[in-house]
Structure 1
């Protein structure tokens, strides 16, 4: 019995950090997020944000090239993926767990949820490399696609044409 409880506790501890979340800094205006981690080059100006992990931020030149439309989103993605792939995803994940301690890491930056943002690319990178499930904070019915957060359309049991009485 003791052995099975120890195994169960070990298993539960492993599951605790199987989910990381992402969010925009504005989430901090209305929510307490003790595991908030800035992955932005710029400061957030939120006092409750205690952790930073700048290695996940795109380099300044890459960000400026996108903002000034010198490169398009597709080129940004390919160059940023090269930058991310220089990191060891497992080590980064372990660093984030150590950084936030008992709290779930929530990777944050300035980018709005509905516009192109590199935090969605970071989430994809973790999902692909470590088989983690990463959701946007308070947006469970969304998925990521090429740097965007897209609402998941729930399939309907009924076609609208079938609902018409005629």
Structure 2
């Protein structure tokens, strides 16, 4: 089952996959850049220039709308395995793009992509 989590929990994750623009220098995760948000969007969000709703709309338009969720899911499983955990920086419960990705996969494939529980 594909899951999501964050880099600070990587040591507890068997098959971590980075979906951020840059992974931490210490991270052993493999990278899947297709799902990374554009730098400009991340920067505007961190500076408080876009709301979570605006971020979600723009990320969906500029990244996810160009991809097919079934193809992405199949590619993740093919490249990383069925137990891949998609990682970004924000801790569980905070707004983050990995949960936007999870919802997009769920809507497009019917496959539930939960946040890992520790």
Q: TM-score, structure 2 length as denominator?
A: 0.90
Which structure has the larger Rg?
Answer: 1
Distance of 2:117 and 2:50 partners within structure 1: 31
Instruction: State the match for 1:92 in structure 2.
Output: 72
| In structure 2, C-alpha distance between the alignment counterparts of 1:47 and 1:88, rounded to whole Å | 28
Of 115-124 and 90-99, the range deviating more from structure 2: 90-99
- The Cα of 1:47 is off from its aligned counterpart by 4.5
Q: Which structure is higher in strand share?
A: 1
Which structure has the higher relative contact order (CA within 8 Å, separation 6+)?
2
Q: Which residue of 2 aligns with 1:26?
A: 8
Asked if 1:127 is matched to 2:109, the reply is no
Q: Please, which runs of 5 or more residues in structure 2 have no aligned partner?
A: none
Q: TM-score, normalised by structure 1?
A: 0.66
Structure 1 residue ranges, 4+ long, deviating more than 6 angstroms after superposition: none
- Consecutive unaligned residues in structure 1, runs of 5 or more: 1-18, 140-166
